[in-house]
Chain A
Amino acid sequence: MERSDAEREITRIRDAIDRVDEVIVRLLNQRAKYAIEIGEIKGHLGLPVYAPEREKEVLLHIEKTCDGPLDAQSMRRLFERIIDESRRVEREAATEK
């Protein structure tokens, strides 16, 4: 591959990454909206925000769904952060009003 071709190819792939990121962001926000809804319900009923059993379920589900190239452990670490943020928005939604 010529150097100029290589540069063009990298630009093309980076552009594809940007498109993927946009989708990820949209989906993460969709996920956060669901978390907020749950937070509001929990706040209304006085249920605890932190649900360790459910968090375990989510992570198991992720690991099962994951078929590479990221391995299950990497995916689990990424989702731990996603869950951290969901717990935060849920807590905020539960304590509002």
Chain B
Amino acid sequence: MVIVMEKHTAESNIERVMAELVTRGFDVHRSTGSEHTVLGVVGDVAKIDTREFELFDGVQEVVRITEPYKLSSRTFRREKTVVKARGVEIGGADVVIMAGPCTIESEKQVFEIARRVARSGARVLRGGAYKPRTSPYAFQGMGVEGLKLLRGAADENRMATVSEVMEISQIEGMLPFVDILQVGARNMQNFNLLTALGQIRKPILLKRGMSATIQEWLLAAEYIMNGGNYDVILCERGIRTFETYTRNTLDISAIPVIDKLSHLPIIADPSHATGRRDKVMPLARAIVAAGADGVLIEVHNDPDHALCDGPQSLYPDQFARLMDELRIIVPAVGRRL
């Protein structure tokens, strides 16, 4: 951290800042310039709230050089983290496709979709049992009964499972059926939930909040990792912008940015980002081309009658076609599918 003092500020102002830093156990590198004096602060500066020092008289600017996130940062770990979920490796050479319905509705539905997406090459079966719906009157999910169906359908097709956890009380009941627990965009800053997920030893798929900056997102991952659970997969799902044509704007640039800042695997969800089936396929191609470690995509055998998010779900045939397209793109970016 660097504290830049105002031009020709009084020596007493500099001394007050230095005294505060030294008292708190930080080391200071003072550099007196002809106009500005600059104080380099050495120590565990992540603990410092920069605003405290901005309020001192004579301080012009406080600049952080290191990121406030640690465990998730590339500085902490150079090599990419590979998260393993029931034999599926996310973050390795393979691009992993996770597909399935938004919500588990019935045995017939989930088994049918699992068969179709597995045949096309999906390795992870998604399906919600607890649904965070915008309206309390919308279908809220099948709960544990739904998770059992998800597990059965995944086992039949040798797939791993991913499903959303909405609150701490659900974690325990989900563990036998779910290989990757998903934290939804709305819960990205539910710090109690994140802390609880740091205590378990199962991969967590952390969606980006729809108005979260990349730094806030990585700090959310930090909550989970701080508890000792290092298997975090980040998932971009679109952010709120001024554009209303699509539901959210998929931030493709977050993929290379995360890859630079963090060692955690990064995937993206084109279904929730756009909310429209016809936009899902081109975005899925872009996600893979941008270097993502995977794609999370909604597929429904009968989207027109789906209980949740039908308009953004692909038909199984469309999904098969998309997979054929991805098989051409993936080797071009040096990956496998």
* Residues on A facing B (Cβ under 8 Å): 48-50, 52, 56, 76-77, 80-81, 83-84, 87-88, 91, 95
Q: Are B27 and A76 in contact (CB under 8 A)?
A: no
Which chain B residue lies CB-closest to A52?
B15
- Tell me how far the C-beta of B5 lies from the nearest C-beta in chain A, rounded to whole angstroms: 14
Q: Which of B184-243 contact A (CB under 8 A)?
A: none
CB proximity of B14 to chain A, nearest CB, Å: 8
Which A-chain residue is minimally distant from B26 (CB atoms)? A91
User: Within the complex, what minimum Cβ distance (angstroms) separates B314 from chain A?
Assistant: 61
Which label, helix, strand, loop or mixed, suits the secondary structure of the A interface?
helix
List the interface of chain B (C-beta within 8 A of A): 11, 15, 18-19, 22-23, 25, 27-32
**In contact, B25 and A95 (Cβ under 8 angstroms):** yes
Chain A residues, CB < 8 A from B27: 84, 87-88, 91
Q: Are the C-beta atoms of B23 and A80 separated by less than 8 Å? A: no
Q: Which of A80, A91, A95 contacts B30 (CB 8 A)?
A: A80
Q: How far is the CA of A91 from the CA of B22 in the complex (A)?
A: 8
Q: How far is the CB of B8 from chain A (nearest CB, A)?
A: 15
CB contacts (< 8 Å) of B11 on chain A: these are 52, 56
Which 6 pairs, one residue from A and one from B, show the smallest C-beta to C-beta distance? A50-B22, A52-B15, A88-B27, A84-B29, A80-B30, A50-B19
Instruction: For the complex, give the distance between the alpha carbons of A87 and B25 in Å.
Output: 11
Residues of A within 8 A of B31 (CB): 77, 80
B32→A52 contact, CB < 8 A: no
